Amino acid sequence: MHAALESLYGLPAADRVPDTATALVDPAWDRLVGDAPELCELVTTDERGEFLDEARALISRYYRLEDPTRFEPESCEQRVEVELEDGVLLRGFVDRIDVAPTGEVRVVDYKTGRAPGERRESHALFQMKFYALVILRTRGIVPTQLRLLYLADDEILTYQPDRDELLRFERTLSALWKAILEAGATGDFRPSPSNMCNWCDYKPLCPAFGGTLPEYPGWPATVPDGTR
DSSP conformation letters of the chain: -HHHHHHHTTS-GGG--HHHHHHTHHHHHHHHHHH-GGGGGTS-HHHHHHHHHHHHHHHHHHTTT--TTS---SEEEEEEEEE-TTS-EEEEEEEEEEE-TTS-EEEEEEESSPPPPGGGHHHHHHHHHHHHHHHHHHHS---SEEEEEETTTTEEEEE---HHHHHHHHHHHHHHHHHHHHHHHHT-------GGGGG-TTGGG-GGGT--PPPP----SS-TTS--
Residue 10: inside a domain, yes or no?
A: yes
State the CATH number of the domain containing residue 133. 3.90.320.10
Structural domain span for residue 53? 2-62
Is residue 124 domain-shared with residue 160, that is, in the same domain?
A: yes
Is residue 100 domain-shared with residue 52, that is, in the same domain?
A: no
Which pLDDT score is estimated for 227?
Answer: 47
Is residue 22 domain-shared with residue 107, that is, in the same domain?
A: no
Residue 46: inside a domain, yes or no?
A: yes
- The one-letter amino acid code at 83 reads E
Distance CA 145, CA 177 (A): 26
Cβ atoms within 10 A of the Cβ of 44, count? 9
Residue 97: inside a domain, yes or no?
A: yes
Is residue 51 domain-shared with residue 81, that is, in the same domain?
A: no
> Among 24-33, 125-134, 219-228, whose mean pLDDT is lowest?
219-228
Residue 156: inside a domain, yes or no?
A: yes
Is residue 94 domain-shared with residue 144, that is, in the same domain?
A: yes
Distance CA 123, CA 111 (A): 14
Which pLDDT score is estimated for 176?
Answer: 93
Is residue 57 domain-shared with residue 124, that is, in the same domain?
A: no
Q: Cα-Cα-Cα-Cα dihedral of 201, 152, 56, 24, to 10°? A: -90
Is residue 12 domain-shared with residue 43, that is, in the same domain?
A: yes
Q: Specify the number of domains making up the chain.
A: 2
Is residue 40 domain-shared with residue 80, that is, in the same domain?
A: no
Task: Indicate the average pLDDT of the chain.
Answer: 91
Q: Which residues pair with 111 in a beta bridge?
A: 150
Which pLDDT score is estimated for 226?
Answer: 42
Which pLDDT score is estimated for 219?
Answer: 83
Mean pLDDT, to the nearest integer, of 73-100? 94
Residue 6: inside a domain, yes or no?
A: yes
* Percentage of the chain exceeding pLDDT 70: 96
Q: Final residue of a domain: which of 138, 171, 204?
A: 171
pLDDT at residue 93 is higher than 90: yes
Is residue 105 domain-shared with residue 53, that is, in the same domain?
A: no
Q: Final residue of a domain: which of 171, 206, 223?
A: 171
Q: Which residues pair with 75 in a beta bridge?
A: 97
3-class DSSP string for 15-29: HCCHHHHHHCHHHHH
Is residue 167 domain-shared with residue 84, that is, in the same domain?
A: yes
> Residue 219: which residues within 8 A CB-CB, separation 6 or more?
184, 185
Is residue 55 domain-shared with residue 106, that is, in the same domain?
A: no
Residue 12: inside a domain, yes or no?
A: yes
97 and 180 Cβ atoms separated by less than 8 Å? no
Q: Final residue of a domain: which of 13, 33, 62?
A: 62
Residue 101: inside a domain, yes or no?
A: yes
Which pLDDT score is estimated for 74?
Answer: 97
Per-residue model confidence as pLDDT tens digits over 54-82: 999 999 999 999 999 999 999 999 999 99
Is residue 121 domain-shared with residue 157, that is, in the same domain?
A: yes
Which pLDDT score is estimated for 222?
Answer: 56
pLDDT band for position 228 (cuts 50, 70, 90): very low
pLDDT at residue 156 is higher than 50: yes
Residue 188: inside a domain, yes or no?
A: no
Per-residue model confidence as pLDDT tens digits over 97-141: 999 999 999 999 999 988 887 777 888 899 999 999 999 999 999
